[in-house]
Amino acid sequence: MAAPTPTTAARAATTHNRPLLPSPRGALAPSFLRLPPLPRAQAHAQRARLLAPVAAAAPAAPSTASPDAPATGFVSGKPTVLVAEKLGAAGLALLREFANVDCSYGLSPEELRAKISLCDALIVRSGTKVGRDVFEASGGRLRVVGRAGVGIDNVDLAAATEHGCLVVNAPTANTVAAAEHGIALLTAMARNIAQADASLKAGKWQRNKYVGVSLVGKTLSILGFGKVGSEVARRAKGLGMHVIAHDPYASADRARAIGVELVSMEEAMTTADFISLHMPLTPATNKMLNDEAFAKMKKGVRIINVARGGVIDEEALVRALDSGIVAQAALDVFTKEPPAADNKLVLHENVTVTPHLGASTVEAQEGVAIEIAEAVIGALKGELAASAVNAPMVPAEVLSELAPFVVLAEKLGRLAVQLVAGGGGIKSVKVTYASARAPDDLDTRLLRAMITKGLIEPISSVFVNLVNADFTAKQRGVRITEERILLDGSPETPIDYIQVQIANVESKFPSAISETGEITVEGRVKDGVPHLTKVGAFQVDVSLEGSLILCRQVDQPGMIGAVGSVLGEENVNVSFMSVGRLAPRKHAVMAIGVDEEPSKSTLTKIGEIPAIEEFVFLKL
């Protein structure tokens, strides 16, 4: 069947070195994805290769690796998981079925650094800072950091990514607990519950002092209309409050569905009687409630913070409380935890405080423990977790469909780099995906990561995985550009062909250089198997299994037999042969798939066949 032709208007250059990191919202996808079994044994093997990067390919820490480490890829046969903060029993039980579990709570930063090089995974809550120093101290062994909760502001994501370490969180199991705690603080604050309780326990009976305010009909502004924010909204509506929300990324339809109006930040701040904070702590939200923000608020506003202490400028809040702009605040979280003994907010009589208890219900902690244990085990096994925070997340059905193309992508990268004379100095790589699918319908992050892995691993000691692929390419000065060719035809097959081109390099097999001057390899998936279909200007067709010999020769009878018999004499099994020629009796390129690696002398003998002008042996 002839390849479909590109529609010229649809040729679209797309992104250059797009970040692998998903957006924070995307990172907190609600469902937990697992890879379904792929239909065929071969696909299964391909899947293992695809996912191996996070599981078994990471180099073990040199200091601890045993020379006879078993084939699991883990230093002691089983992975070691360090649980650095209290985790629910059900999660620990799951972890113990799969790993050696070291529960060491309350480690100092020095102790954590000392232990980490002995661990494949680390599980923390909000109380452990996982900074660059931890990744550096791990010596490359740490593969997964599991955050048993939502906020990952205590984990240095950039450092994790640079070290090829996957970060996963438990995004859903504590949502309701946090929302319930927000409502508990809201109602407790409005009726002075904590203060009245303390007063009565101190022997006083102060009924006039603790007159509260009603909630019904009051306006509650929710800042951050995500999982917790929307659950707070539902509950506050049940209390008869008028609920509005500000969230630059939230869908108006979702808000409308629960009777909440999305408004500007300005409106959310100026019209609220109560403001409840539910956004992540990011550079953009850091100290979002500052003097300027408080100055815009209605006098007597009440603030609830169950998100992160850092989203409030705490000194500005003290000033706003003292001046009466803010009548009361209820805080579960603080910039520094635990706060200093003389923290003015904690001691302020109009402030109700709890020690970061939002997620602390029996039910939430069991749920979070199971959620994080599953995510960490999955990641150690090499599965792609939906709760990956610093890696592309690919829905299971998409992954299943792309699996053979992912293998093709890596092999094309491997072939292309081995064709470069000297094997280094690659600066510019262009990847072209020809597909009948609209660009929005084809997520190429996985493919790009695998091409990068194929390009970089054969020529370096760097370990490339889905987490660090873009970073590694950038760090090595390799610019990868992607182009889509939109084909006419059925979008049923995700990709018709993938082409990898390396520009501005010489090739040890000059026939691999196309008319436009780049080393060019192109491949397709046929019956689920990746095939090399073009080298330079020559069309070939050889399945990408085993290894490959490429020969350029003068097209003449007997060539296949001549090369075949040299290989046969050395007992090298030929799996596939294909000849691509520009015209009969002119130059041709012969691609020969071999199961075994030919010896040097066999390769020399092939080179000595008179009609062979150039040849190269490539490992796949």
Ligand X SMILES: O=C(O)C(=O)COP(=O)(O)O
Ligand Y SMILES: NC(=O)C1=CN([C@@H]2O[C@H](COP(=O)(O)OP(=O)(O)OC[C@H]3O[C@@H](n4cnc5c(N)ncnc54)[C@H](O)[C@@H]3O)[C@@H](O)[C@H]2O)C=CC1
Interacting residue ranges for ligand Y, rule: CB under 6 A: 25, 28, 150-151, 174-175, 178, 223-229, 246-250, 278-281, 284-285, 306-308, 332-333, 356, 358-359
Query: In the sheet where 121-124 sits, what is the strand order?
Result: 100-103, 80-83, 121-124, 144-147, 166-169
28 binds, among ligand Y, ligand X, none (CB under 5 to 8 A by kind): ligand Y
105 contacts which partner out of ligand Y, ligand X, none, CB within 5 to 8 A by kind? none
Q: What is the contact surface with ligand X in residues (CB under 6 A)?
A: 125-127, 148-151, 174, 356, 358-360
Taking CB within 5 to 8 Å according to partner kind, which of ligand Y, ligand X, none is near residue 228?
A: ligand Y
Torsion of CA 465, 469, 472, 476, to 10 degrees: 120
| Residue of 158, 157, 152 whose CA lies nearest to 124 | 152
Tell me the residue type at 62: P
Cα angle: 14, vertex 17, 23; to 5 degrees: 90
> Shortest distance, CB of residue 245 to ligand Y, whole angstroms?
8
In terms of CB distance, is 53 or 367 closer to ligand X? 367
Query: Cα angle at 94 between 89 and 95, to 5 degrees?
Result: 95
Q: Closest residue to ligand Y, Cβ-based? A: 226
Q: Pick the catalytic residue from 141, 308, 524, 531.
A: 308
Q: Which is nearer to ligand Y, 308 or 411 (CB)?
A: 308
From the candidates 181, 235, 356, 437, give the one annotated as an active-site residue.
356
What is the Cα–Cα distance from 275 to 40, expressed in whole angstroms?
54
Percentages helix, strand, coil for the chain (3-state, rounded to 5) are 35, 25, 40
Across the chain, how many H-helices and E-strands are there?
A: 20, 23
Q: Taking the CB of residue 258, how many other CB atoms lie within 10 A of it?
A: 14
Nearer to ligand Y, 247 or 374 (CB): 247
125 binds, among ligand Y, ligand X, none (CB under 5 to 8 A by kind): ligand X
Query: How far apart are alpha carbons 344 and 320 in whole angstroms?
Result: 12
DSSP letter assigned to residue 166: E
Name the residue with the smallest CB distance to ligand X: 149
* Residue number with CB closer to ligand X (184 or 359): 359
Active-site choice (111, 261, 337, 613): 337
Q: C-beta of 352: minimal distance to ligand X in Å?
A: 18
Minimum separation from the CB atom of position 25 to ligand X (A): 15
* DSSP result, 513-554: B-TTSSEEEEEEEETTEEEEEEETTEEEEEE-SSEEEEEEEE
Per partner kind, with CB cut-offs from 5 to 8 A, the member of ligand Y, ligand X, none near residue 284 is: ligand Y
CA distance 505 to 427: 9
Q: Active-site residue 162, yes or no? A: no
Q: Out of ligand X, ligand Y, none, which partner does residue 226 contact, by CB within 5 to 8 A per kind?
A: ligand Y
224 binds, among ligand X, ligand Y, none (CB under 5 to 8 A by kind): ligand Y
> Which 8-state DSSP code applies to residue 325?
S
Q: Which is nearer to ligand Y, 251 or 599 (CB)?
A: 251
- Provide the token pair at 444: 């190429």
Taking the least distance from each CB to ligand Y, the nearer of 75 and 184 is 184
- Give the whole-angstrom CA distance, residue 417 versus residue 580: 21
Residue pair 326/305 in contact (Cβ under 8 Å)? The answer is no
Residue 549's alpha-carbon distances to 413, 532, 577, 598, in angstroms, are 16, 12, 9, 9
Shortest Cβ distance from residue 387 to ligand X (Å)? 12
Shortest spacing between CB 26 and ligand X, in angstroms? 17
Minimum Å distance from CB 211 to ligand X? 33
Residue 225 interacts with, from ligand Y, ligand X, none (CB under 5-8 Å by kind): ligand Y
Residues in the chain: 620
Query: Torsion-angle region of residue 489: left (phi > 0), alpha (psi -120 to 50) or beta?
Result: left
Which residue lies nearer to ligand X by CB, 147 or 524?
Answer: 147
Nearer to ligand X, 35 or 148 (CB): 148
The string over 418-432, giving b where at least 16 C-beta atoms fall within 10 Å of a residue's C-beta and e elsewhere, is bbbeeeeebeebbbb
- Identify any residues that bridge with 12 across adjacent strands, giving them in sequence order: 484
> Shortest Cβ distance from residue 47 to ligand Y (Å)?
30
Q: Is residue 337 flagged as an active site residue?
A: yes
181 belongs to the catalytic site: no
Distance of closest approach, residue 308 Cβ to ligand Y, in angstroms: 5
Question: Active-site residue numbers?
Answer: 308, 337, 356
